[in-house]
Amino acid sequence: MTGDMIIFAVSAVVAVFGAVMMIAQKNPVASVMFLILSLLAQAVCYVQLGALFLGAVLVVVYAGAIMVLFLFVIMLLNLRGREDLGLSSHPMNTITKFLLVVLLGVELVLIVKSVFMSGAVGGMMAKPTDDFGSVAQVAKLLFTKYMYPFQLTGVLLLVALVGAVVMARKDRSEIAHGAPSEEAVNEPTAGKVGR
Amino acid sequence: MVPVTAYLILAAVLFGVGALGVLISRNLIILFMSVELMLNAANLALIAFARAVNVVDGQVVVFLVLTVAAAEAAVGLSMIVTIVRNRETINVDRLNLLKW
Amino acid sequence: MTTAAPIIDLNLMIPEIFLFLWACLVFTYDLVTKRKSGNAVAWLALAGPVLTGILTVVMFSAGFYGYGKAAGAMFEVDPMAVFFKIIFLGAAFFAIGSSFGLLKNRIVNHRGEFFGLILLSTVGMLFLAASREMISLYVGLELTTIPLFVLAAFFKDDRLSVEAGIKYLIIGALSSALLLYGMSFLYGLGGTTDIWQWKLEVARIAGKGEGVGVILTLSVITILAGLGFKLALPPFHQWAPDVYQGAPTPVAAFLSVGSKAAGLVAFAKLMIGGMVAFWDPVMIPNDWGILTAILAASAMIVGNVVAVRQSNIKRMMAYSSIAQAGYIMVGMVALNDFCLSSVAFYMFAYMFANMGAFAVIALIEDATGSCEISTYAGLSRTSPALAVTMTVFLLSLTGIPPLAGFMAKYYVFAAAIQSAGASPTFGFLYWLVGVGLVTSVVALYYYANIIKQMYFHDRPSTSPITFDAPMVMVLAVALCGVVVFGLFPEPVLQFARQIPPPYELFQH
């Protein structure tokens, strides 16, 4: 009992610490690192809750791939410390917003606490079966009952693919009359015609 | 055994921190990561609820949500690349050609 | 646990699959023709929603549907789904038809992607309209909005457009996170993602005297905030004018009709389909009917009042669409037999008038490069036909009698009055209708201001506007829709009345 509790307490503290540090950083690289820390701690919670497979997915896909994509974009654009970012420059505004969010957070916690301590859902926690949250069980549901939304996410990935290409690609006409860039220097200036 | 309530409170706190990030951060990338953190908090709540009601469906939902979040991140990051190319900034305060 | 593989009955999804394949065809065609297809790719894309619409109507009238369920009851075609599918396809038709002008100089590259993404967003809307389960609803909503982020930022070298795209992206992601958080509470209460089963399960738990009130309230608040962002209901409306102003005009039009209708469907499914039984104030202290009514009232007041002060017509239309969303929500909270049918009819009438008005705005923007209201000065002298057309659309948006907009407003307010008269619990609806009527007068002021600019200015600021064939088609269809459905709304209303009343939304 205490072992579980200690693991949870440590991972919860790390998760919140990582999240708070993430928004408090000026440097986006450090920010990404703190978010990864928070995600790793959340993955521990996933495993404690019986979601072994999803814990692994969170580490491999989210912390491992998506966050690295963020890091990659930051490095690509060379955003570190180029301009003074960080927190907002309007102090009054920030304080108001800050109070707002603190109030929101306190409210959320209080409500959740009061409801679950009263035993509406919290009391239902039965001992799970051995294979609860295993790869086999998740996969079985995913490919039978949830086949339809699963295939819809396939369409969504196509959209993301097309969208990302449209957005990130440098078009030739854009280079011709856009801001000077490294590619523009290398390109022959005659390339004014669209492709 | 840790009560499920504890995980739900953790999820609520993470959601609150994410919302705080969206409201106060001036850096577009950190702003976007805060939204991702909010999504993750919702995922944690789903996993906790799946454990509470002892039905795995919640975990499948989280799996699908992770896919959606990946798609959103891909589009969002490519858009950030575009905005840095033609505005040379990721400071939200300076993206003010349109009044917020 | 044994889970039998559900039969995915693809027959019922024929229109959706067809449109998806059509979008792929548009992408491929643009690639194969080496991206020099001219207007052909736009004509090809325009055929997509038309053919899908014909397919949907034919399949429905042939009795092929009729509460058909597929994919283990996650996908259902009911009259509401069919009605909203027609609205989505209509919005896509108008949006594509009014973007031919952009092909001349604004969209040089990625033409296929522009139209293909509009079609894929429509596919998402179609799936959303047919979902009866939380996760497919969520994925459908994301499939609707993610292409719209890209479309809003499609003018990559236009700073306003990119800024609009990034703002829409942040707000869209934020609202879907809120929505998901709210839905996670729903899942935790009922232990199921199916909305109908969830309703039964929660009613059972509540019947046993276990408290579900506070957590239900929490999920109602987060879901309402999420949908409030999607529908741009104040105080969640700040993004809408910026995004509409920066986005390409046809995309702004598509946002104001298609995306709004998608938000309405999600609202109908989650709040009305899932929670109508829990409206009872005894069970939920902060019941969602009152909260929605407050959102609706603030939308009508803020939208109409702020619209008066705008000098950019796209921003004005954004505030006007915020106000229109307020009127629609009046019908939503009526919660009687007419509520969903009046909302559906309102959306139908709004589609013609709003898409038509945006088509005129797009035309003028293509010709003059400006969206300022002063550009419209003296339009009646240079292009009288266009001025008359625009006047009809604006009058319909105001709700002037013989036009479709009037009938729409009439049915929405009638549903609310009927509900208020039937039960004292709904007494607040009298106030809501009162706010609606008063703010309609304000709306008359700013719509009439444009008409005044067009007719009572001696020195025209534009040379005569030339039309191209698709634009003539779009304007003619929209004009016919506004006039014909204003004079003869009965056939459409008959269809809309087949939408089941709130308590039986997913019963079949």
The SS3 assignment for C66 reads: coil
- Please state the separation of Cα C459 from the chain's center in Å: 37
In a domain? residue C418: yes
Flag whether C6 is in a domain. Answer: no
| Residues B19-30: tens digit of each pLDDT | 888 888 888 888
Q: Phi-psi bin for A119: left (phi > 0), alpha (psi -120 to 50), beta? A: left
Q: At what angle do helices C428-455 and C288-307 cross, to 10 degrees?
A: 20
Domain count for chain C: 1
Confidence band, pLDDT 50/70/90 cuts, at residue B89: confident
Mean pLDDT of A96-100: 61
Select A1-86's CATH number: 2.30.30.100, 3.40.50.740, 1.20.120.1200, 3.30.390.50.
1.20.120.1200
> Which chain A residues touch B42 with a CB distance below 8 Å?
none
Work out the number of other CB atoms within 10 angstroms of the CB of residue C106. Answer: 18
Least confident of A153-162, A169-178, C42-51, C251-260: A169-178
pLDDT of residue A179: 41
| Cross-chain residue pair A159–C156, CB shorter than 8 Å | no
In whole angstroms, give the CA distance from residue C273 to residue C283. 17
Neighbours of chain B (3+ CB pairs under 8 A): A, C
Banded model confidence at residue A187, pLDDT cuts 50, 70, 90: very low
Mean pLDDT score of chain A, rounded to an integer? 75
The mean per-residue pLDDT over the stretch A170-190 comes to: 45
Q: What pLDDT score does A80 carry?
A: 59
Q: How confident is the model over A47-64, as a mean pLDDT?
A: 91
- Give the domain extent around C206: 11-504
Q: Is residue C5 part of a domain?
A: no
Q: Residue A81: which pLDDT band, with cuts at 50, 70 and 90?
A: low
Distance from CA of A148 to the nearest CA of B (A): 11
Alpha helices in A59-146 (DSSP H): 67-77, 91-117, 135-143
Q: Which two tokens stand for residue C399?
A: 């709700």
Answer yes or no: is pLDDT of A15 > 60: yes
- Give the domain ranges of chain A: 1-86, 146-195
User: Does the beta-carbon distance from C177 to B39 stay under 8 Å?
Assistant: yes
Q: What are chain B's domains?
A: 4-92 (1.10.287.3510)
**Chain A residues with beta carbon closer than 8 angstroms to that of B15:** 105, 108
Provide the shortest C-alpha distance from residue A190 to chain C (in Å).
Answer: 17
Q: Average pLDDT, whole number, for chain B?
A: 86
**Chains contacting chain C through 3 or more C-beta pairs under 8 A:** A, B
Is residue C411 in some structural domain? yes
The answer to whether C482 and C407 have CB atoms below 8 angstroms apart is no
pLDDT at A66 over 60: yes
Averages of pLDDT over runs of 10 residues in chain C (508 residues) are 61 90 94 79 93 90 71 82 94 94 82 93 94 92 95 88 90 93 89 85 72 74 90 87 92 94 93 71 58 91 91 93 94 87 94 95 88 86 90 92 91 91 82 92 91 82 80 93 92 88 77
Beta-bridge partners for C131:
C75
Contact criterion met (CB < 8 Å) for C117 and A163: yes
Residues 276-315 of C with CB under 8 A from B: none
Rounded Cα distance between B11 and C162, Å, is 33
pLDDT at site C106: 80
A49-77 mean pLDDT: 91
CA C24, CA C17: separation in Å to the nearest integer? Answer: 11
Q: C218 vs A171: CB contact, 8 Å cut-off?
A: no
| C122 lies in some domain | yes
Give the rounded percent of residues in chain A with a pLDDT score beyond 90: 34
